[in-house]
Amino acid sequence: MKNKRIVVALGGNAILSKDASAEAQQAALAKTAKHLVTLIKQGNQLIITHGNGPQVGNLLIQQQEGATESNPAMPLDTCVAMTQGSLGYWLQNALLKELENEGIDQPVATVLTQVIVSEDDPAFDHPAKPIGPFFSESEAKLMMVETDSVYREDAGRGWRKVVPSPKPLTIQEHQVINTLIENNIITIAGGGGGVPILAESYRGVEAVIDKDLASEKIAELVAADMFIILTSVTHVAINYGQSNQIDLGRVTVANLDEYIKDKQFSPGSMLPKVEAMIEFVKACDGGQGIITSLENIGNLDNGLSGTFITLD
């Protein structure tokens, strides 16, 4: 697995667990950088994407609680951009420090990434992605009337605002990302799934893009040789959590299609990752997809660890 163009999608556990302080998140990213530099030391070109769910949720709470008439809260698309910047800043510096420790002189850049979506995407008629703080039922119903937003009960924990999650059509900055990679610059992009915008107006919309689908679109547009999604487990599994659980090693798109029909993957967890991998492998003939954990990156070179996805 050397001299390849690789897109690595970081899971949320690579940045934030329980402690939301800047210090704790920077410490987590320092550990993450050590694993990522393993791929760089092998001579690979790296594009890194990441989630921002906890961070943008916390920022929305801060925005709402501190809002006044003269200093109103920022909208969701702007908050996504703000967390792209802060997380990119932390990860960029963590990588630079680890590269320096390894004696590697290579630049790192963060690209504020916008994702073009269609105004006609059916997701806009069916908002379902929960964001931000929890409210009581009475508070939520009052805000639905006052703000024309949609709130729903979330797993018995309270009511939360829900927004659309449209499919990414393309990446506005994909040519910029390509230019950086071609000049051997490690690139951080697609943070939090990117800022959703409408192509006709370049106007940001109140929505959240699935980070794995956005990462796949980046991998497709930069003609990546490999797309790696990092999560909390080393393998995709069928019969997950049961006595007959089977970890998947090498699987084809056809295999995964059958497992999806059998409802083997959770819609809120592994399913979008598997779907993103299927799209990538189909779009990039010869491209290979891998789903595994961050800690397992160092074991991928032997081809024996992680779930490897191929077209056939």
**Any idea which residues carry the catalytic annotation?**
12-13, 129, 211, 273
Q: With both helix axes pointing from N to C terminus, report the angle between 211-221 and 174-182 in degrees, rounded to the nearest 10.
A: 60
| Residues making up the chain, counted from first to last | 312
Q: Which of 188, 215, 221, 206 is nearest to 275 (CA)?
A: 215
Cα–Cα distances in angstroms (integers) from residue 135 to residues 58, 239, 264, in the given order: 14, 35, 33
Identity of the residue numbered 32: T
Which contacts of 104-107 are long-range, i.e. CB under 8 A and separated by 24 or more positions? 104/37, 104/40, 104/41, 106/40, 106/184, 106/185, 106/186, 107/185, 107/186
Contact 280/272 with Cβ under 8 angstroms? no
Which residue in the block uniquely carries the two structure tokens 């393309």? Answer: 170
Q: Nearest 5°: phi and psi at 253?
A: -60, -40
Contact 169/118 with Cβ under 8 angstroms? yes
Q: Which of 172, 235, 184, 171 is nearest to 5 (CA)?
A: 184
At residue 275's C-alpha, the angle toward residues 274 and 278, to 5°, is 90
SS (H, E, C) 6-43: EEEEECHHHCCCCCCCHHHHHHHHHHHHHHHHHHHHCC
Residue 176 burial (CB < 10 Å; 0-12/13-18/19+)?
middle
